């Protein structure tokens, strides 16, 4: 039973890191963003080498996408809370 918890922890941890790197890639406008993309690929390769099951790999991809969307939403909400005028002017210009 303890081994299943350990595997679940690693799955969640790797997916969170990968989703976080993808969220940073999507929100940072400089060339540094490509470093986050490469880190996400590296994290994915490390996970796929460590865990060979199809279910774990599908879970990793699904959780990575979930964390990417969640963290991107959180980053957008924090940016809006810090400067709502920038978002309002962007909406009025459209």
What secondary structure does DSSP assign to the chain, as a single string?
-HHHHHHHHHHHHHHHHHHHHHHHHHH--STTHHHHHHHHHHHHHHHHHH---HHHHHHHHHHHHHHHHHHHHHHHHHHHHH-HHHHHHHHHH-
pLDDT tens track, the chain, 94 positions:
679 999 999 999 999 999 999 999 999 988 999 999 999 999 999 999 999 999 999 999 999 999 999 999 999 999 888 888 877 776 676 5
At residue 94, the pLDDT reads 52
* pTM over cut 0.75: yes
Encoding tokens for residue 62?
């699904």
Helix (H, G, I), strand (E, B) or coil at 53: coil
């Amino acid at each position: 039973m303890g081994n299943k918890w350990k595997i679940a922890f690693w799955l969640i941890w790797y997916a969170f890191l990968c989703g976080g790197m993808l969220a940073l890639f999507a929100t940072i406008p400089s060339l540094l963003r490509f470093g986050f993309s490469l880190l996400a690929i590296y994290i994915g390769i490390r996970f796929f080498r460590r865990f060979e099951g199809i279910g774990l790999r599908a879970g990793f991809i699904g959780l990575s996408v979930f964390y990417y969307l969640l963290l991107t939403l959180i980053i957008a909400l924090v940016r809006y809370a810090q400067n709502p005028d920038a978002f309002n002017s962007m909406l009025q210009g459209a």
